[in-house]
Each structure stands twice: as C-alpha cells, then as structure tokens.
Structure 1
Amino acid sequence: MPTTPFDFSFADIPDQRGRTIVITGATSGLGFVAARELAKAGAHIIIGARNRDKAAHVAAALAGRGSVEIRPLDTASLDSIAAFAHDVLSEGPRIGALINNAGVSVARFDKGVDGTELTWATNVVGPAALAERLLPAMTGTDPRIVLVGSNLSQRTTAVPDLSGIDDASAFAQLGTYRSSKTAAAAVAVDLTDRLEATGSPIRSVIAHPGVAATAMNQQATTPMSRVTARAVDALLARTPDDAARSIVWAAVAPDVPQRTFIGPRLRRGDHRLHTVPVRGAAADPEFRAQVRNFVAQRTGLTVP
C-alpha cells in the first residue's frame, strides 16, 4: 500500500489481456477515458449505457482500440440492473473489475422508476445493487469493485438523514449529492468488511477524480451557482484524462488499498495520487450498518 504521494500515468498500466472489466457511465467523461485506456491495455470492456445514441458514438470512438462491448443499463432502475447482470452472468465471464462510475447531481427533486429520489437511486442504490448481483462473477485476476467517489464526502462531518431522502422539501442539489456520495462511500467500506469476513479475495476500493472538467461538474442551475462552477473549473478542474488516472490505478494496481480515498489533491498542478483514510460518516460502523439496511430495503436483495 502506497503511503506517500506517487506518480501514475496510463503508460504504467500493466498488461490487462485476459481480464474483463465492467464500467458504468462510460459514454463520456471519466468513464470513457477509463474504458479507452483499459481497452488499449488489452482488457475486454463491458460498458453499461443508458443512452443508445451516446452508446453508438462510444462504440464508434473505441472501434479498433481494443475489445469493447456495450449493453443497455440504467443504474437508477433495479429492473435494468437485474437484466444487465443476468445477461452478463449467463455468459459466464470471469470479471476482474467492476467500476461503478455512473453518477448524477440532479437540479430538481425527482424520483427514479423505483420510487427512490433520483440522486440516491443512481449514486447509492444502483451501484450497490449492481455490485451485489455481479459478485458471483468476480473471479477474474485480482478482482475488485471500484467506486468512483467524491472528495466532498471527505470534507464534511454531516451524517446523512436516511429517513428524509424522499422528502422533496429537504432536497438541495449540492447537499443531496454530497450525502449520496457519503452513503456510497459507506457502502464501499461496508462491502470491504463483509468480503474480508468471508475470506474473499475481492477488494472494494474508492477512487476520486478531484475536480474534473466533465459534464458531471457542469450541472449547476442557478445563475450564482453557474458563476461559482465556472470559477471552480477555471481554478481547479483537471482534464478528464488527468482526473481518470486514479480510477484506472484503482482498477489495475496490485497494491491498491481499501478503506481509503485514492486520488489527487485539489491543487491542479499536483499530478501525484494520494491515499488517505476514509473519514466522516463513512468511517462510522453504525452509519455503515444503517446504509446497508437502507440498501437492502430499497433493493429487496439480501445483504449479509
């Protein structure tokens, strides 16, 4: 486990031939960069995509760059997740990594098709359900589940109120997003605990991209928030290629640590990756248990 800042570039990716990697949210931004670079390194990439037009564009953009297939997946829909997992599992692949990259920060209160507030449905419930369903296939080389987290969850001491998730009056775009990413980090650490308890070789790790100049970072809606977002982008935002390095490293490094956040500092000029312990509510076993129960209730899946 690296304990000091370290350099990593896509040229450092080890040979991925014979390894299957599933990536969500890879039709643009960080997920697209990760898919491109991992495919170039020899991995077989399965992309779960909701938008057919974007999926077709990605398929064309990655043609000739490696082995890539795209399958329909809406991470805010439990039925879609179940169908995607069934199709993947029926073909019997030995999955080496699942990269839960898909995420949203919606501007207004809305619910997903299953009745959960859309931010939480996409950022918490969906990734947790997909990981649980694909666990039986995580038998490839050095298997791990990579959550693309947010450093916002590291920078708050607030404990998300799981009882108010579907309350429209409690919705605020930034606060809801931050709470959802805190809960997602709790899911990842809880999965680490559960896998270790069974002696599983599967690792559950968290990578964060820092501030990235992607569509995800450009979803501000009010005039003031748009001005703020532009100022943050100008001062801190990294290119998608720079920001995606932590995600790729988490998917391929042999010494990737658990219960940590892996990613860059805020300062854009520092291109090293850093590992720091998970902080805040996600580090609290009691909160992790609450989120585990919440996910079990919302998905209907048995989460040991």
Structure 2
Amino acid sequence: MCRQLPGRIAGCDTPGKPGSRLGGVSEWDIADIPDQSGRTFIVTGANGGLGEVTARALAGAGARVIMACRNEVKARAVADSIGERAQVRRLDLADLDSVREFADAVGPADVLINNAGVMALPLTHTAQGFEMQFGTNHLGHFALTGLLLDKISDRIVTVSSGAHLIGRINLADPNWEHRRYNRWQAYGQAKLANLMFARELQRRLTLHGSDKLSVSAHPGYAATDLMFHTDSLVHLIMPLGNRILAQSAEMGALPSLYAATADVEPGGFYGPNRLGGMRGHPGPSGSSAASKDEVTARRLWDLSEQLTKVTYNFG
C-alpha cells in the first residue's frame, strides 16, 4: 500500500531514485523524508545520540518537534541549535509521576517516537522500584503511550534493538527480584518487551478499528554514547568495535525516521539492511520467535498495565 503523507506519497518512489524499494536494496535516506510541515512529533531521549539525529532530521523536514528529555540542560542546547521548530519538555521515563505530568501537559501530536533508553546498567531501580532497564525502556514507554494514545493521530514508533534476540520475558520476575541479575539479559528482556509491545499495540488498534499505526525499529550497530554509560568493561572495548563495525548515529537513526514517516506495514519492524542488520539503509527486519509469541505478548501487556496502573482506552 501507499499511505498518503504531506508533500508526496511515501514509499512509492520511482526506480533508480534514492529511496526506491523496487528491484534492489533500499537506499532510503534523510533526503527521502516527505515534507512534514504542519506535523508534530514527540521524540523521547532527543538530547543526544539517535534521538538528537531524529529530532534534527524531522525539524529539517519542516516538522515541529517536542523533545521529551530528562536532561533539560543538554536538551535545550540541542533545541537552540535546531531552531524554532524544536521545543523541550521534561520527561523522566524512570518515574511514572513524571510520565503522567508530561502526558497531562503536552498537546496533540501526529507521531510519538519512543526512542529513549538505558543499556546494560548495574542493578538499579526506578522511582517506583522497577528494575531500571525494564522500568525505563519498556514500562516508561508503555505508560507514556497509553496516556498519550488519544492525542496521537498517526502512529507510534517504538525503538527496539538487535539485543532482543538474547531477551526472554520472565513474567514471574520481570524486575529481577528472585534471580541473579545479569545486566545484558536484563537489557535483552527490555528490548524484547519493546518489540512485543509494539506488535501487541498494533493488534489491539486493528481489533478496535483504529487507523493508527504501531511500528518498531532498531538502529543496528550505531556509534552513540549509550554504550559508554554501562559502568562495565564494555565501554573500554567499544571504541575498537565502533571503528571496525559501527555505523554513524546518522545512519542508525534512519530506521526510526523511516518507520515514522514512510509507507510502512502495520506492526512492521525496520532496521539496517546489511551485515546481518548491523549496518545499512532501512528496510524490513527479521526478529526472534519469542518476539512473535502472541500469548506472552498479551500477558506482558496485562502485567504492564498492572505495574504502571495505566489502562489503555481504545475508544
């Protein structure tokens, strides 16, 4: 299908032009973002890394961008460099009170991009006592999306990761209270939860006759500062990996931008199209069998509503 977007029909480019998906590998790039004038995007974690690139690209395409960030000082510096199309609102996804305050204060928007996240932290907890990675990456965005659903007119994009492949959803102990904590397995669980949430949200939107979209994306192996906040040996060896394998944050943000602005499949998952999904331009991405488990996804949804005390209203 070709979904009409402002300025042109996205995803229906002619053969041979950048962004063409006919007869070969997609080379979709920032230049292929349709005109976004008159549209509003909410981007979480837009004060650096992939979120900053996403905010800059959307504003460059004419959109109004609401940068939802915990670090307001850093975010305002980025917003000032972007210009009048960017504004900052405080949002701490590790505190559900902050999530509710943000959702109550923000106005309507066309697209919500659930981008913010933490990676491979030592065992710490959110304001409500959830394991930090599960609580921030999944529960914070689950609550935010539910509270904003009536205000979002077009689509919700949730950023997952290739690390979902190592993830397992432990419904009996999602917050690692009764088992030995492993920071990477916890990160994998959180990123798997992101992907399962995006797909389950689409199933529920479709069931209720909504034309809103829920899609997900992953950046592949992108060189950002996220990996330098793990408080582990990883941040010592990552510079070598970045030089050998990683692509730029600008390339890593392309799947999110594609998912947010192009013609996409409902419930689709998008990521880089080369080197096993680690590098390249955006295209459809494969995922684990666990990510397609609809029974666990429904149970995760119920658990998430119970933990966050946010119940979705599909109208």
| Same fold by TM-score greater than 0.5 | yes
Out of 74, 82, 92, the position equivalent to 2:100 is 82
1:146 aligns with 2:160: no
Change (3 A) 1:164 1:61: same
Following TM superposition, where does structure 1 have runs of at least 4 consecutive aligned residues deviating by more than 6 angstroms? none
1:147-185 Cα deviation digits (max 9, x unpaired): 1110121x34x5321222333552211110011110111
Equivalent residue, structure 2, for 1:190: 200
Out of 176, 182, 186, the position equivalent to 1:172 is 182
Instruction: Provide the C-alpha distance between the structure 1 equivalents of 2:137 and 2:306, rounded to a whole number of angstroms.
Output: 16
For 1:201, give the aligned amino acid: D
In the TM superposition, what are the counterparts of 1:148-297 in structure 2 within 5 Å?
148-153=159-164, 155-156=165-166, 159-167=168-176, 169-223=179-233, 225-253=234-262, 255-265=263-273, 267=275, 271-297=280-306
Change (3 A) 1:211 1:277: closer
Cα distance, 1:49 vs structure 2: 1.1
Name whichever structure is richer in helix by fraction: 1
Change (3 A) 1:291 1:269: closer
1:135 aligns with 2:143: no
Instruction: Provide the C-alpha distance between the structure 2 equivalents of 1:214 and 1:280, rounded to a whole number of angstroms.
Output: 28
Equivalent residue, structure 2, for 1:71: 89
Identity %: 34
1:14 aligns with 2:34: yes
TM-score (norm 2): 0.86
Instruction: Provide the C-alpha distance between the structure 2 equivalents of 1:59 and 1:138, rounded to a whole number of angstroms.
Output: 22
Instruction: Provide the C-alpha distance between the structure 2 equivalents of 1:182 and 1:176, rounded to a whole number of angstroms.
Output: 10
1:79-118 Cα deviation digits (max 9, x unpaired): 11111111114xxx3x211000000014211110011111
TM-score (norm 1): 0.89
For 1:35, give the aligned amino acid: A
For 1:11, give the aligned amino acid: A
Cα distance, 1:234 vs structure 2: 2.3
Instruction: Provide the C-alpha distance between the structure 1 equivalents of 2:205 and 2:278, rounded to a whole number of angstroms.
Output: 37
Determine helix, strand or coil for the equivalent of 1:164: coil
Gaps of 5+ in 2: 2-20
Instruction: Provide the C-alpha distance between the structure 1 equivalents of 2:278 and 2:131, rounded to a whole number of angstroms.
Output: 37
Determine helix, strand or coil for the equivalent of 1:163: coil
Instruction: Provide the C-alpha distance between the structure 1 equivalents of 2:181 and 2:292, rounded to a whole number of angstroms.
Output: 24
Which of the pair has the greater relative contact order for Cα pairs under 8 Å at 6+ separation? 1
Change (3 A) 1:172 1:266: farther
Instruction: Provide the C-alpha distance between the structure 2 equivalents of 1:269 and 1:214, rounded to a whole number of angstroms.
Output: 14
Change (3 A) 1:227 1:72: closer
1:17-42 Cα deviation digits (max 9, x unpaired): 11010000000000001101101111
1:93-145 Cα deviation digits (max 9, x unpaired): 3x211000000014211110011111111110011111111111122xxx110
Instruction: Provide the C-alpha distance between the structure 2 equivalents of 1:222 and 1:112, rounded to a whole number of angstroms.
Output: 20
Cα distance, 1:259 vs structure 2: 3.3
1:227-264 Cα deviation digits (max 9, x unpaired): 543343222211111111111111110x2123332111
Instruction: Provide the C-alpha distance between the structure 2 equivalents of 1:129 and 1:251, rounded to a whole number of angstroms.
Output: 20
